[in-house]
Structure 1
């Protein structure tokens, strides 16, 4: 298919599954009603709860997760593919996995991905953020075959590791998802620049649904969900505030055109480092 109408849902996720399922139910109905074929959601769309003691009573294995199940039901009900952003699920080592699911229009799970790069950072003037204390990393990239070409699955902090996107581009990804819950500080400084760079480097559409606002657990997120085309042009910037939705019509022929004009995915060279 040469075109895709895609809906982006921007959220301010709550600290319980039920509230977030209600939000996504409304977004899915709106997306389907406006002719979208795919709905993209942000990171931790299913649950955003920094209170580990409480979260341990909520988080279950992916196969039992209520948010994943609800997204499957909504996809089948509306005949809509849903990329559910992510939600925490149990990892084998007792930590969580930041887990994303791609669901087709029959409600079937077509791909799953666990966030590979964890947000262990020290921003000046702020307390350290050590995501790896609570989350285990994923161990593989995922590219899903769809009627619109390859969909590459990544999450948030993965954005800062361009080699991931080069691999996805070389494998034929036409659309790359980067659902996120960026901090306000790093969002203002880096968000749009990094997203546009990833689109330009890969010659792919980048879809980055984001969290926005002050959450029940006290965190603040940047918003500005973006859609970027393979030439680096911003097709949609949703600003602040949530929940809300934006529609973008993707001309998928632009992927081949961008890669033909600048064939960087084919002409890169691996050379040794010479230290002098």
Structure 2
């Protein structure tokens, strides 16, 4: 398997931001950091999973929005203002009485280019370490999500999606050269598997992998591992 060269080099920014319980603050902070990344030359910018709300089954319903809605409107506006491709991490989305963990992507003109609903829900029980069940409140997505840029074709996954090698393989077969995974691995699975999975997906498929985490907050009910990373093929 041989890597196809990128159409031309570009700068990618991963925004590892602190997420609070106040949605308006999270949106303001995220947009400010997007502007900062753009000012430093980033042409593609990615936010982390659940960037507008705390991560937890008890929060998803309270913070959920329609798409388009308040959060995605802000993302559209800042993408257009900065003239960049913006991968909007993920937000809790409400649609038809169901909740999804959803990533919306916007182009330099502010148009939505893709919407990825997390396919593989995070249900885990490591005795004495962590127990979490996204499926208590969320419904799974059922599609692959890709978008084109002048630099390369990009495939999307969210967090637990990265564990499923077949998904990355399909993206590679469909011509994606960069896969972006907003994710919030925790202090149990993070040190064990976060970097390992990214390197595995990159080598197996000869693609670039970018994984974007929220900043670690020791006081949060769910503590993210952090360590946002880019891996080459």
Q: Distance in 2 between matches of 1:200 and 1:49?
A: 30
Change (3 A) 1:49 1:199: closer
Shift of 1:106: 1.1
SS of match in other structure, 2:36: helix
Gap runs ≥5 in structure 2:
1-6
Matches within 5 A, 1:149-188: 149-188=152-191
Please, which of 45, 58, 65 is the counterpart of residue 60 of structure 1?
65
Alpha carbons 1:143, 1:150 under 8 Å: kept? yes
Alpha carbons 2:90, 2:104 under 8 Å: kept? yes
Alpha carbons 1:15, 1:216 under 8 Å: kept? no
Shift of 1:123: 1.1
Q: Which runs of 4+ in 1 moved over 3 A?
A: 49-52, 54-58
Please, which of 27, 44, 47 is the counterpart of residue 41 of structure 1?
47
* Aligned residue in 1 for 2:121: 118
* Aligned residue in 1 for 2:4: none
Length-normalised TM-score, structure 1 = 0.78
Alpha carbons 1:75, 1:82 under 8 Å: kept? yes
Shift of 1:142: 1.1
* Aligned residue in 2 for 1:76: 80
Alpha carbons 1:15, 1:47 under 8 Å: kept? yes
Shift of 1:58: 3.2
Q: Distance in 1 between matches of 2:184 and 2:138?
A: 15
Length-normalised TM-score, structure 2 = 0.92
Gap runs ≥5 in structure 1:
231-276
Matches within 5 A, 1:1-276: 1-50=7-56, 52=58, 55-64=60-69, 66-92=70-96, 94-214=97-217, 217-230=220-233
Provide Cα deviations, 1:90-110, integer angstroms capped at 9, x if missing partner: 132x34100001100111101
Answer with 1 or 2: which has the greater Rg: 1
Alpha carbons 2:60, 2:92 under 8 Å: kept? no
Across the two proteins, how many residue pairs are aligned to each other? 227
Change (3 A) 1:223 1:101: same
Q: Distance in 2 between matches of 1:61 and 1:163?
A: 30
Q: Distance in 1 between matches of 2:112 and 2:84?
A: 12
Provide Cα deviations, 1:118-137, integer angstroms capped at 9, x if missing partner: 01111121353111011100
SS of match in other structure, 1:157: helix
Change (3 A) 1:121 1:211: same
Cα RMSD of the aligned pairs, angstroms, is: 1.6
* Aligned residue in 2 for 1:246: none
Alpha carbons 2:129, 2:188 under 8 Å: kept? no
